[in-house]
Structure 1
Amino acid sequence: MNQNNTQYEKIFQNILELLDPASREQALAELNKKKDSYEDLAPILWNSFGVMTILLQEIVSIYPFLLSPNITSQLLNRAGCAINLLQCIASHNDTRGLFLRTHILYFLYPFLKTNNRNRSIEYLRKATLFLISSMIKNDNKDAIEFLISSEIIPLILRILEVGSDAEKNFAIIIIYKILCCDSGLIYICQSINRFRAVEITLKLVLDSLPTTQSLPMAKYVIRCYARLAENPKIREILSKYLPGIFNDMTILHIIKDDNNTKRCLSNLLIMLSPTQ
């Protein structure tokens, strides 16, 4: 018990150091190391005076460099730690709702919107995508509905088109999780333009599979189509225009060792067959 108290004393000391600009960088790094080890770090951070303001200051300090390749490793590491600590808060059951209601996530959207493909900005973009994917990991309806209302889907689709492989892996999971929520499926399917935007991007992912041979991408894109096909109007469209690659040996080879995905693909093809 004494050892546990000592560890928490260190956390509170790090938070005090966070308030001092002279010790802030080291405090950010130390708290970032602890984020996976202390289950209640998120509530402590959220309820500590000035912490959220400081984390947002670290993130906003990167904005002037979004169109520039000249970002220092010091600024990059500080912003990365800030995003990681926000991820801890956004994914915790006790603080997720508070995080959503304050719309803090909007401060991270510039990292998704920028066309800067610099590795430094890509690092922050991946951290942001990881935050979002962990926030909706357990199919949290409030989090997914917030994402829908914030019109994030076009940003995620853009990343699926031009992002790095790691970014695309996060992006396809986010799209799938949105589709898994009934309100997400309704939102995408109620407008033919929204459906077309999603379907065109998923088709691009499919077309890239012979080159990438990516099982995670194949697994989630198949699940996305299967979920879309649950909507009667979209099922009718897909039955006429389903991409031919679904019957191609290439995709079957990629998923050959994943029985769940093979079953999902088989069910999708049966659902869209003319006899259904």
Structure 2
Amino acid sequence: MANLPVFLFAEPTTALEPNPPLTDLTNVSVDELILALNHARTRERALHLLSQNRSMFDNLAVLIWHSFGTMFTLLKEIMDVYHMLSKPDLTEKDSTRVCNALALLQCVASHPETRVPFMKAKIPLYLYPFLNTTIKEKPHEYLRLTSLGVIGALVKVDDKEVIYFLLKTEIVPYCLRCMDVGKGLSKTVATFIVQKILMNEEGLRYCCIIADRFFAITHALETMMERLSEEPSQRLLKHIFRCYLMLSESPRACLGLGRLLPRMLNDSAFTDLLHDDPTVMSSFKQLLRKVHRDDGNKQGNPKTG
């Protein structure tokens, strides 16, 4: 994993503040809630209220980003649980508190004014440890899913700079790990992120230029397909199909897909999941036609992608 940016030196001091922190935060303004994050006594409650009501504040992301010490406080909340990530005894209370901080980071990642500065400050790197854990307990899963939500917010808007940043910081292996160990929603968001990367020309080249990388991605997709027979998910299946379809845009990858495409793609149990979505069914049929046609036409004339 890339090195974390080293710019966190000290917690904003509150020792000289003349006014004590508010203790009842139920009816205070968003500015007061953000200020309450600087106090240990009120931080947990402020995190909860800001996270719970973040959709009500249009400028919350801008206030969080520009207010003194707030990003430091959120990152400190995140880093404080790093030492517990390899242990199964992480509590739901600790996980929920960090997830509230992550939800506020997602707010910053989603806002057009703060998205690029958020990325250039390399804030997403602080989330990667949560994507790297293999423990499947609920507290770890909550952290995994909420962290994926932050990355998902970055890729929702088509921005080459975001994709280049994620490729440079090796997000794909982390997504593949989440596709393997995560629950249904984590698998879905991780697959969506990979799909958005594949939709970018440089992202597609990155995923297909090295055979081991291509095989790792197709193996993750196939494994999820196998597990879908036990827990069907139309939404996840859509993203899996779209990943395959984007991979088929690479001539080199398309040759491999003709041999690797899971037999289950021809299984009515999966196609039945798509009957309610004509667009995805059309993509599914297009994928089968493209892969089988290209496999037949290019067997004797392989190209590089």
TM-score (norm 1): 0.91
Tell me whether 1:58 sits opposite 2:52 in the alignment: no
Query: Could you tell me which amino acid in structure 1 is paired with residue 43 of structure 2?
Result: R
Q: 2:63 aligns with which of 44, 52, 64?
A: 44
Distance change >3 Å, CA 50–CA 255, structure 1 → 2: same
Considering fraction of residues, name the structure with more helix: 1
Q: Deviations over 1:153-206 (max 9, x none)?
A: 111111112221121111111111111111110111111111111111111122
**Separation in 2 of the partners of 1:174 and 1:197?**
15
**Separation in 2 of the partners of 1:24 and 1:242?**
50
Distance change >3 Å, CA 69–CA 202, structure 1 → 2: closer
Q: Report the more deviating stretch, 21-30 or 254-263.
A: 21-30
Q: 1:189 aligns with which of 176, 193, 208?
A: 208
Query: Could you tell me which amino acid in structure 2 is paired with residue 70 of structure 1?
Result: D
Q: 2:112 aligns with which of 93, 105, 112?
A: 93
| Residue number in structure 1 paired with 2:5 | none
Q: 2:276 aligns with which of 249, 257, 261?
A: 257
Tell me whether 1:102 sits opposite 2:112 in the alignment: no
Q: Deviations over 1:33-75 (max 9, x none)?
A: 3311122110111000000110011111111221233334443
Q: Report the more deviating stretch, 140-149 or 185-194.
A: 140-149
| Residue number in structure 1 paired with 2:181 | 162
Within 5 Å, give how 1:122-271 maps onto structure 2.
Answer: 122-271=141-290
Query: Could you tell me which amino acid in structure 2 is paired with residue 119 of structure 1?
Result: K
Q: Deviations over 1:250-273 (max 9, x none)?
A: 221121211111100111122123
**Separation in 2 of the partners of 1:31 and 1:123?**
18
Query: Could you tell me which amino acid in structure 2 is paired with residue 143 of structure 1?
Result: V
Query: Could you tell me which amino acid in structure 1 is paired with residue 70 of structure 2?
Result: V
Tell me whether 1:82 sits opposite 2:125 in the alignment: no
Count of residue pairs brought into register by the alignment: 269
> Does the Cα contact within 8 Å between 1:139 and 1:180 map onto a contact in 2?
no
| Residue number in structure 2 paired with 1:11 | 30
Q: 1:115 aligns with which of 125, 128, 134?
A: 134
Shift of 1:212: 2.0
Q: Report the more deviating stretch, 128-137 or 24-33.
A: 24-33
**Separation in 2 of the partners of 1:55 and 1:154?**
25
| Residue number in structure 2 paired with 1:3 | none
Distance change >3 Å, CA 250–CA 17, structure 1 → 2: same
Shift of 1:211: 2.1
Q: CA RMSD in A?
A: 1.8
> Does the Cα contact within 8 Å between 2:90 and 2:139 map onto a contact in 1?
yes
**Separation in 2 of the partners of 1:138 and 1:216?**
19
SS of corresponding position for 1:112: helix
SS of corresponding position for 2:162: helix
TM-score (norm 2): 0.83
**Separation in 2 of the partners of 1:23 and 1:209?**
43
SS of corresponding position for 1:267: helix
Q: Which runs of 5+ in 1 are unaligned?
A: 1-8
| Residue number in structure 2 paired with 1:31 | 50
**Separation in 2 of the partners of 1:211 and 1:140?**
36
**Separation in 1 of the partners of 2:91 and 2:258?**
52
